[in-house]
C-alpha cells in the first residue's frame, strides 16, 4: 500500500466514514477517491492533489474524535495494550477501539512488505521462538514469516512429544529457559489460561497463538482488519453491522476473541448459529451484551438471512469425546445454494481455516471457491501484515518501519492465487 493509501485509510477509519461519505465530505467524486486508493502499480492509480491532502489533514485535526490516541499520545502503543506493564498479547480484552485502530494503521504500513514490493530489516538480529504444542499450519508459519519479513529469524518446536514438557517440565521452567534463547515467544497450548502462565514467567513479549478453547487474539485482529477492508470496498461500516457466527461456538476460540473485539464497536447484531450442544459460553455472551449489542441464538442456518458477514467455523472435535453432535446434519453446511438463498451480493463469507473438507464434515463447502464473496484467502493473506504489526508494536519498532523500507529485488505475482477475485489488491 502506498503512503497515500495508508493516509486515506487512516483518515476514513478515524473519521468513521464510508468512502461515499468521505468523498462527499472532502468535495471530490467517489471515483477519484477510488483511484487514489488503488495500488501504485495499477494503471488507474492517480496521485491525490496536495491541496486535498492538506484539507484532509485539517479535517482530521478538527474532527477526528480525540479519544485515547491524543490523551495518551505520550505512551507507546505497546504500553497502551500491555499486560501488567509487559508487552504481551494474551487476550483481545487488552484493546480499546482506539488502540485496535492504531494497530490497523501499523498493519496498513506493512502492506507493501506483505505484498513483496518492499523489504525491511527492523528486527535484524532478533530471534522468535515459536512454541506450538497443538496442531497448526497457518498460525505458526504466518507468525514465522511475519517475523522473517521484518528481518528476524525463527526457531520452532512443534508438539509435546518432542519437547521437554513430555519429560514433566513445567510451563514456568520452559518459558524462563526459552527467554534466554529468544527475543519473543508465540505459544499455542491446549489448556485455557496456559499462555498467560508462560507470560508470567518472562519479560520478553509472549503472544497467545491459541490457548485451548480460550482465545486466539491475533486471528480475531486479522479477522476484524479483513472485515474493515472488505467493508471499505462495499461502502459499509462495522458500526451497525449484522454478523452471523456459525458452527462450534463453544470450543472455537477464534469466535470467542472475535465477538469480544467486535463488541468494541457500536450497535451490532450478532446471530449465533450452533448445534444445541455447541453454543457460545455464557461468560462471553454476558461480556458482549454489556456493550448493548443485539444477540440472537439459533440452531438454524435460515437465521443468517440479511447478514453482512457469515463467519463459519470448524467443529473442534479434538476438544470433546467422539460423540454424535445433535443438529449437525448435512443441512448445516454453508454452501453456494444456502448463501444464494439467504444472502445478497454484498455479504462476505469468512472462516479462520482449516476447514474440514472430508465427506460428512458439513464444514464450509468448496463450491464457493470462485465466489467473490468468499473472503477466506484474503483473510489468510491479511495474517501477515497484522502479525508483522503485532511484532513491531510489542518490540517497539512500529515507528521505524515506514522509514526502513527498501525496494524488493525480486518480482512477485500481482495475484498470489489463481482463483483470487479480480478486485484483490483494489480493496
Contact residues: ligand NCD, CB under 6 A: 138-139, 210, 216, 219, 253-254, 314, 352-353
CB 186 to ligand NCD: min, Å: 11
CB 151 to ligand NCD: min, Å: 25
Residue with cell 500481482: 414
Nearer to ligand NCD, 343 or 364 (CB): 364
Contact partners, residue 295, CB within 8 Å, separation at least 6: 270, 272, 285, 288, 289
Integer Cα distance of 24 and 65 in angstroms: 19
CB 32 to ligand NCD: min, Å: 38
CB 216 to ligand NCD: min, Å: 5
Nearer to ligand NCD, 2 or 218 (CB): 218
CB 357 to ligand NCD: min, Å: 13
Nearer to ligand NCD, 189 or 314 (CB): 314
Read off the C-alpha cell for 405. Answer: 523500507
Nearer to ligand NCD, 26 or 376 (CB): 376
Across 298-333, b (16+ Cβ under 10 Å) vs e yields: eeebebbeebbbbbbbbbbeeeeeeeebeebeeebb
CB 252 to ligand NCD: min, Å: 6
Q: Strand (E) positions, 212-293?
A: 242-246, 269-273
Nearer to ligand NCD, 237 or 386 (CB): 386
Nearer to ligand NCD, 138 or 293 (CB): 138
Nearer to ligand NCD, 174 or 254 (CB): 254
CB 322 to ligand NCD: min, Å: 17
SS3 103: helix
Identify the H or E element spanning 70.
Answer: helix 68-71
Half-sphere exposure for 26 (CA within 13 Å, toward CB):
29
Judge contact between 382 and 352, C-beta under 8 A. Answer: no
CB 351 to ligand NCD: min, Å: 9
SS3 185: strand
- Residue 54, classified by CB atoms within 10 Å of its CB into exposed (0-12), middle (13-18) or buried (19+), is exposed
Nearer to ligand NCD, 88 or 216 (CB): 216
Integer Cα distance of 86 and 94 in angstroms: 12
Amino acid at each position: 500500500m502506498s503512503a497515500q493509501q495508508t493516509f486515506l485509510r487512516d483518515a476514513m477509519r478515524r473519521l468513521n466514514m464510508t468512502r461515499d461519505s468521505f468523498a462527499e465530505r472532502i468535495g471530490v467524486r467517489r471515483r477519484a477517491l477510488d483511484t487514489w486508493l488503488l495500488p501504485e502499480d495499477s494503471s488507474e492509480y492517480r496521485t491525490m492533489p496536495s491541496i486535498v491532502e492538506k484539507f484532509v489533514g485539517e479535517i482530521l485535526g478538527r474532527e477526528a474524535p480525540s479519544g485515547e490516541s491524543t490523551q495518551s499520545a505520550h505512551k507507546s502503543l505497546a504500553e497502551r495494550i500491555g499486560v501488567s506493564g509487559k508487552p504481551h498479547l494474551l487476550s483481545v480484552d487488552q484493546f480499546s477501539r482506539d488502540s485496535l485502530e492504531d494497530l490497523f494503521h501499523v498493519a496498513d504500513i506493512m502492506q507493501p512488505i506483505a505484498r513483496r514490493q518492499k523489504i525491511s530489516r527492523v528486527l535484524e538480529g532478533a530471534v522468535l521462538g515459536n512454541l506450538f504444542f497443538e496442531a497448526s499450519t497457518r498460525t505458526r508459519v504466518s507468525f514465522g514469516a511475519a517475523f522473517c519479513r521484518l528481518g528476524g529469524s525463527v526457531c520452532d518446536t512443534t508438539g509435546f512429544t518432542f519437547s521437554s514438557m513430555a519429560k514433566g517440565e513445567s510451563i514456568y521452567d520452559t518459558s524462563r529457559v526459552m527467554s534466554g534463547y529468544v527475543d519473543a515467544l508465540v505459544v499455542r497450548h491446549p489448556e485455557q489460561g496456559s499462555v498467560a502462565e508462560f507470560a508470567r514467567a518472562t519479560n520478553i513479549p509472549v503472544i497467545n497463538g491459541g490457548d485451548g478453547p480460550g482465545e486466539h487474539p491475533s486471528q480475531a485482529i486479522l479477522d476484524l482488519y479483513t472485515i474493515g477492508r472488505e467493508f471499505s470496498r462495499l461502502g459499509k461500516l462495522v458500526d451497525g453491522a449484522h454478523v452471523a457466527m456459525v458452527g462450534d461456538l463453544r470450543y472455537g476460540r477464534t469466535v470467542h476473541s472475535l465477538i469480544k473485539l467486535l463488541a468494541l464497536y457500536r450497535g451490532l447484531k450478532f446471530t449465533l448459529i450452533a448445534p444445541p450442544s455447541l453454543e457460545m459460553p455464557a461468560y462471553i455472551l454476558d461480556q458482549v451484551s454489556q456493550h448493548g449489542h443485539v444477540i440472537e441464538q439459533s440452531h438454524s442456518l435460515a437465521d443468517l438471512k440479511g447478514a453482512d458477514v457469515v463467519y463459519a467455523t470448524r467443529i473442534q472435535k479434538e476438544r470433546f469425546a467422539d460423540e454424535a453432535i445433535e443438529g449437525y446434519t448435512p443441512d448445516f453446511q454453508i454452501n453456494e445454494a444456502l448463501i444464494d438463498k439467504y444472502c445478497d451480493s454484498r455479504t462476505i463469507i469468512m472462516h479462520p481455516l482449516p476447514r474440514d473438507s472430508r465427506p460428512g464434515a458439513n464444514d464450509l463447502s468448496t463450491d464457493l471457491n470462485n465466489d467473490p464473496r468468499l473472503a477466506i484467502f484474503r483473510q489468510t493473506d491479511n495474517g501477515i501484515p497484522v502479525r508483522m504489526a503485532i511484532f513491531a508494536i510489542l518490540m517497539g519498532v512500529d515507528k521505524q518501519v515506514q522509514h526502513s523500507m527498501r525496494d524488493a529485488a525480486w518480482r512477485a505475482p500481482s495475484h498470489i492465487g489463481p482463483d483470487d477475485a479480480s478486485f484483490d489488491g483494489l480493496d
